[in-house]
Chain A
């Protein structure tokens, strides 16, 4: 094939024949915006962002599908093209949550709320885990905050989260088709495709089957290629954009697949394929489980030695010295058992140690059907008394076997019942924490960089062996790094082949890592039928607690919940809140009372799904019981006559201002209620609020209804209109209240806000909820929640509210409900028909 020359934006370009205009432009360094295009996919021409003008050609062809030809004159920029692209973008965004893209407060919002909120549904970028890496968002922002000409249609699909490892929110899907195309490219027959047509078109599996039964291998490529927040990795999603990416390999089976290790602050958040092709694909273990094993909260973090019946934690020197003083006594009766998943350097040093001590070395390969088979001969030898001591690099031997020996050292990363029988336990760094090389079954040698920090005092095994050997006075172990060992390894044997093809089927995954059942540490693997040790059930009585009488998702993420709680209902007053615990193991979390009925004994709340606790609560069905409801808490807002009062509500605050409006109106005030939402479809309780106010004003951030902006814009308008406001009360998220406070301060209008710091008891006992008001520390739960907005130290409040953001991410549930998997549409918190969109 020859080369051709063409002109793009006045620039002469030479490319190989057969390239598309898009490819030609890229080679020339000319940027054409694209969405559905991806370098690893065939041109598709779906999004129409890449349109260009070609001299002599009518219309606006898509550059990704049009081949470049000799002498062609192409324009990639023109007023018409910009309009066209903006229209395309608008169209795409009209079916996509877009309020953050057009919001007038975006900059302040991003400044005060740097991390995405862990909402159930991403109804805007601020709730979307893709925010930091979103190409759609980037493109929209580059196009400018132009007014959207089209109404926002929120599709209200159920968020799909009953599959292991992935969350899917098809409300964000722009139908670029990247996901099914990559799935088809990699696997031949795609597990997902566009189902339904026209307005109802969406992505999904055939017959809405769970991915587990749809032929999906959980390679994760669809997640990694999706330009939006539709498809996400449940474990990694809320950590935000990784700050480093390194080429490494998975050593969980003999395949030794290459992968990218993605880390953030030296913590492994995900592992993914190095490129989008079958050859580079990963199995579910390599793509999803690896990071979860490394991050398992149960990891061993300090050495321990046995004394009597007890294992006593100790420092490294003590443990190593004990091992070093005992081990040399055994020579031939010592066996060293190591897993093939360790690095070549580790195994080389283990082998050298075995050789110097005259011990036997047993290398355990990864296998699908357990390690028992592999270890049969060895355990028989042990039982016969052939060995009197072992060093075991994993969960290979039972506690009884170890106890029967004269001496034993376990070097491992996770606790095991076997290790409890060992004389010395040493915590090992593993996988992404260890530097070294690895030879796979095809003989390729791969580099393993140490990219994440080991937990506690855990150390890499090469280092442990060197230190142990040196303490024994052995020579040939004076290495300062694994790198110094690499050149000595020479021609080590390739690992024994794995008895399955993990990348082809979920039933062929390796079930063990260093002898441990992988599903014990990564429970979602149970959904693939992987063996695990049963968990002890937490039994809770269903009789006690507070019954849920009603539960509706009124608008996306907002749940109206009515609970039987007579003691609260009887004494509640406007502005008070309750503390709920969904279960005995839950956090105590505060929620403002929206309504109550003393005669019926019921209370109503609006719960916004923004994290683990709220999710736990809204997942309880009608008829279930909330373990604890305590309240009413906080000082009620005095229901005094003031004149004209303005009440501002945002998010859950729309519900929370309802009883305040009612009370203040009954007290004879002229009540103006202002509610804000990011978009019109997120507004709720309008009818109810109309009945308790003299005027109801609406604001939306995207301008889809009412005033464009928030409560503060409306308020300023009111004052300019000459309304004499005696008091302003704002209830909502901290950001909204702060903005409101900033707007009313220069006007000198008394403003109250209902502060929502982190609370524990809610009774004034712990001080977690302390806030600074005019330089004085107050407890929001008993002195508040209402405070003078102009005296609040907002920066302190923002920082204190974020104190546990990392713990909150770690606490997001990863478990899958095996029942929900088999009946995917039976339950699971969908918006469904009960969702009322206006």
Chain B
């Protein structure tokens, strides 16, 4: 589940706008009609046109000390790329984005902008922030569709070889950076397609798989070798990789271990982890059964337990499979960790919400098929360790929601396979790999890690941010010097707005 990165509205209020320019309103995103899209797997937001993009880009004040940049976990030079869009220089805008972000088409779609860059946009303090995410997506889509993007410059070969484990956003970022700096990179991916959560988890209607595959193919153009069907920890261990012919290893295996509730009835037929449910539909394309052979799930009434992005994705995917869809979440609406836009989309499409509700047990028939779920009402008590108010059960408030399918989406834990088979790599009690926060190096020299395997289930962009850091550290570790940075003027992290 995506965790809350910043307080959502922390920076708002108080300050007055610095500009007296004529106001253009924030440009709305054209979207597929909810009545139609709840029955199909096509993408929901349809993207800005060139005109709208220029109009929206024109709203940016080009702040000298831009807050948005601090909000971005990889410090994209936001005013820079937006300025280029405003001038109609779309491909250059993309190149600007690419300096910091290997996957702008993805991030523009899935980042929680409202709690990151856009939360710190100065315009947001009075009115609506610049639609940074939508512009990012626009530049990337434009360049992909129109071509004309020059091949990235590649440094001469260094002769160093790096193994990257896991082809999720963290691994993709590391591999891309290192390849550009002249290293020989091999990615090992357990599944049959590269992309990690971007392929198996996030649904087609939010992130078309063609975009992910396009990004993967640009990696391959840089000479990165991707070995799918290769499970580190099973096929081979990290130690063996280092012994054989790799000079360094990066672990980006993500948080792929589904957590279950541990309530009675959880192994009934019709109970799925969100991972299984989404994998069947996205990666295995079970919605196109029987052309794709993986057995589909044909729910009539689905309960999704959880309140994160994954839960929203599961609930909305259920709708598209023709089911009624309900979310059961034990805290209140404002505690939901999902992106605001996803909650909004889910509501618009007709997902029902049972908030402050906790599952007690799953009911089944004599054939072990799900028939419903017994729940308990909750009320909010004192704040807990996470700063969110702790939900407390209301005695005797039990009630039953009928359903034939239950999707458990209460989070994922780090993938244990690699640490299990490499005892020298130290992990926390939760199973995340312990790394040096500056270099992302683990307790085993030459082995680096990043992404969800380090932070616990987080976000695409934070995985990429850690990947960036790790790539630089790996280069330094192997070459004893800083990488040939294309754009050395990384924005100063310490500058604070106001």
**Is there contact, CB below 8 Å, between B293 and A613?**
yes
Per the bound structure, the CA–CA distance linking A587 and B286 in Å amounts to: 9
Q: Which of B96-104, B255-263, B337-345, B489-497 participates in binding chain A?
A: B255-263
Most buried by A among B229, B258, B276, B284: B229
**Is there contact, CB below 8 Å, between A767 and B293?**
no
**Is there contact, CB below 8 Å, between A632 and B234?**
yes
**Which chain B residues (145-197) contact chain A, with CB distance < 8 Å?**
190-192
Per the bound structure, the CA–CA distance linking A310 and B298 in Å amounts to: 26
The answer to whether A796 and B368 touch (CB under 8 A), given A765-B275, A768-B276, is yes
Per the bound structure, the CA–CA distance linking A587 and B293 in Å amounts to: 5
Rounded to whole Å, the gap between the CB of A471 and the closest CB of chain B is 20
Closest to B288 in A: A585
> Cβ of A631 < 8 Å from any Cβ of B?
yes
> Cβ of B269 < 8 Å from any Cβ of A?
yes
**Is there contact, CB below 8 Å, between A456 and B322?**
yes
Closest to A544 in B: B228
**Which chain A residues (133-160) contact chain B, with CB distance < 8 Å?**
none
Chain B neighbourhood of A301, CB < 8 A: 322
Which among B33, B276, B285, B417 is the interface contact of A763 at CB below 8 angstroms?
Answer: B417
Which among A302, A584, A587, A764 is the interface contact of B256 at CB below 8 angstroms?
Answer: A764
The answer to whether A631 and B234 touch (CB under 8 A), given A302-B39, A312-B33, A811-B289, is yes
Which among A313, A568, A760, A764 is the interface contact of B417 at CB below 8 angstroms?
Answer: A764
**Is there contact, CB below 8 Å, between A763 and B256?**
yes
**Is there contact, CB below 8 Å, between B229 and A763?**
no
> Cβ of B204 < 8 Å from any Cβ of A?
no
The answer to whether A772 and B267 touch (CB under 8 A), given A310-B36, A631-B234, A767-B276, is yes
Which among A629, A764, A765 is the interface contact of B279 at CB below 8 angstroms?
Answer: A765
Number of interface residues of B (CB under 8 A): 48
**Which chain A residues (287-329) contact chain B, with CB distance < 8 Å?**
297, 301-302, 307, 310-314
> Cβ of B235 < 8 Å from any Cβ of A?
yes
> Cβ of B326 < 8 Å from any Cβ of A?
no
> Cβ of A666 < 8 Å from any Cβ of B?
no
**Which chain B residues (300-315) contact chain A, with CB distance < 8 Å?**
none
Per the bound structure, the CA–CA distance linking A631 and B416 in Å amounts to: 16
Per the bound structure, the CA–CA distance linking A110 and B140 in Å amounts to: 59
Sampled A-B contacts (21; CB under 8 Å):
A297-B290, A456-B322, A567-B227, A567-B235, A568-B235, A581-B192, A585-B291, A631-B231, A763-B231, A763-B256, A763-B417, A764-B415, A764-B416, A764-B417, A770-B260, A770-B267, A777-B260, A777-B266, A804-B295, A807-B289, A811-B289
**Is there contact, CB below 8 Å, between B322 and A767?**
no
Q: Tally of A-B residue pairs with Cβ under 8 A?
A: 141
**Is there contact, CB below 8 Å, between B235 and A631?**
yes
> Cβ of B22 < 8 Å from any Cβ of A?
no
Per the bound structure, the CA–CA distance linking A364 and B35 in Å amounts to: 34
> Cβ of A718 < 8 Å from any Cβ of B?
no
**Which chain B residues (215-263) contact chain A, with CB distance < 8 Å?**
227-231, 234-236, 256-258, 260
Closest to A798 in B: B368
> Cβ of A799 < 8 Å from any Cβ of B?
yes
**Which chain A residues (792-831) contact chain B, with CB distance < 8 Å?**
795-796, 799-800, 802-804, 807-808, 810-811
> Cβ of A60 < 8 Å from any Cβ of B?
no
Rounded to whole Å, the gap between the CB of B310 and the closest CB of chain A is 13
Per the bound structure, the CA–CA distance linking A82 and B289 in Å amounts to: 52
> Cβ of B292 < 8 Å from any Cβ of A?
yes
Most buried by A among B200, B258, B270: B258
**Is there contact, CB below 8 Å, between A313 and B36?**
yes
Which among A616, A765, A796, A811 is the interface contact of B415 at CB below 8 angstroms?
Answer: A765
> Cβ of B294 < 8 Å from any Cβ of A?
yes
> Cβ of A470 < 8 Å from any Cβ of B?
no
Chain B neighbourhood of A632, CB < 8 A: 234-235
The answer to whether A811 and B295 touch (CB under 8 A), given A761-B190, A766-B258, A766-B279, is yes
Decide if the interface of chain A is mainly helix, strand, loop or mixed.
mixed
Per the bound structure, the CA–CA distance linking A570 and B230 in Å amounts to: 12
Rounded to whole Å, the gap between the CB of A810 and the closest CB of chain B is 6
Most buried by B among A584, A803, A810: A803
Chain A neighbourhood of B38, CB < 8 A: 313
**Is there contact, CB below 8 Å, between A765 and B258?**
yes
> Cβ of A670 < 8 Å from any Cβ of B?
no
**Is there contact, CB below 8 Å, between A807 and B295?**
yes
**Is there contact, CB below 8 Å, between A767 and B260?**
yes
Chain A neighbourhood of B229, CB < 8 A: 567, 628-631
> Cβ of A551 < 8 Å from any Cβ of B?
no
Per the bound structure, the CA–CA distance linking A760 and B258 in Å amounts to: 13
Chain A neighbourhood of B26, CB < 8 A: none
The answer to whether A312 and B36 touch (CB under 8 A), given A763-B417, A777-B267, is yes
Chain A neighbourhood of B260, CB < 8 A: 767, 770, 777
**Is there contact, CB below 8 Å, between B276 and A760?**
yes
> Cβ of B280 < 8 Å from any Cβ of A?
yes
> Cβ of B273 < 8 Å from any Cβ of A?
yes
Chain B neighbourhood of A587, CB < 8 A: 284, 293-295
> Cβ of B296 < 8 Å from any Cβ of A?
yes
Mask: chain B, 24-45; 1 = CB below 8 Å from A; 0 = not: 0000000001011011000000
Chain A neighbourhood of B227, CB < 8 A: 567
Rounded to whole Å, the gap between the CB of A357 and the closest CB of chain B is 29
Decide if the interface of chain B is mainly helix, strand, loop or mixed.
loop
Per the bound structure, the CA–CA distance linking A802 and B270 in Å amounts to: 12
Chain B neighbourhood of A808, CB < 8 A: 295
Most buried by A among B192, B279, B293, B298: B293
**Is there contact, CB below 8 Å, between A585 and B236?**
no
**Is there contact, CB below 8 Å, between B258 and A811?**
no
Which among A568, A627, A802 is the interface contact of B192 at CB below 8 angstroms?
Answer: A627
Per the bound structure, the CA–CA distance linking A800 and B192 in Å amounts to: 25
Chain B neighbourhood of A588, CB < 8 A: 192, 284, 294
Chain A neighbourhood of B415, CB < 8 A: 763-765
Rounded to whole Å, the gap between the CB of B277 and the closest CB of chain A is 9
Per the bound structure, the CA–CA distance linking A803 and B275 in Å amounts to: 18
**Is there contact, CB below 8 Å, between B267 and A796?**
yes
Per the bound structure, the CA–CA distance linking A412 and B313 in Å amounts to: 32
Per the bound structure, the CA–CA distance linking A313 and B256 in Å amounts to: 36
> Cβ of B21 < 8 Å from any Cβ of A?
no
Q: What would 14 more interface pairs be, CB under 8 Å, given A571-B236, A767-B272, A800-B267? A: A301-B322, A311-B36, A571-B235, A585-B291, A587-B293, A630-B228, A633-B234, A765-B279, A765-B415, A766-B258, A767-B276, A768-B272, A777-B266, A808-B295
Chain A neighbourhood of B256, CB < 8 A: 763-765
> Cβ of B429 < 8 Å from any Cβ of A?
no
Rounded to whole Å, the gap between the CB of A680 and the closest CB of chain B is 34
> Cβ of A417 < 8 Å from any Cβ of B?
no
Per the bound structure, the CA–CA distance linking A310 and B39 in Å amounts to: 13
Chain B neighbourhood of A633, CB < 8 A: 231, 234
Chain B neighbourhood of A766, CB < 8 A: 258, 273, 275-276, 279
Per the bound structure, the CA–CA distance linking A36 and B272 in Å amounts to: 51
Closest to A814 in B: B290
> Cβ of A782 < 8 Å from any Cβ of B?
yes
Per the bound structure, the CA–CA distance linking A633 and B416 in Å amounts to: 14
Per the bound structure, the CA–CA distance linking A772 and B295 in Å amounts to: 23
Per the bound structure, the CA–CA distance linking A632 and B236 in Å amounts to: 9
> Cβ of B367 < 8 Å from any Cβ of A?
yes
Most buried by A among B275, B285, B295: B295
Per the bound structure, the CA–CA distance linking A767 and B256 in Å amounts to: 10
**Is there contact, CB below 8 Å, between A761 and B279?**
yes
Per the bound structure, the CA–CA distance linking A310 and B368 in Å amounts to: 42
Per the bound structure, the CA–CA distance linking A767 and B368 in Å amounts to: 17
Most buried by B among A310, A632, A768, A804: A768
The 7 A-B pairs at the shortest CB distance, nearest first, are namely A630-B229, A766-B276, A804-B295, A807-B295, A799-B368, A767-B273, A765-B256
Per the bound structure, the CA–CA distance linking A605 and B194 in Å amounts to: 26
Rounded to whole Å, the gap between the CB of A110 and the closest CB of chain B is 17
> Cβ of A612 < 8 Å from any Cβ of B?
yes
Mask: chain A, 746-764; 1 = CB below 8 Å from B; 0 = not: 0000000000000011011
> Cβ of A586 < 8 Å from any Cβ of B?
yes
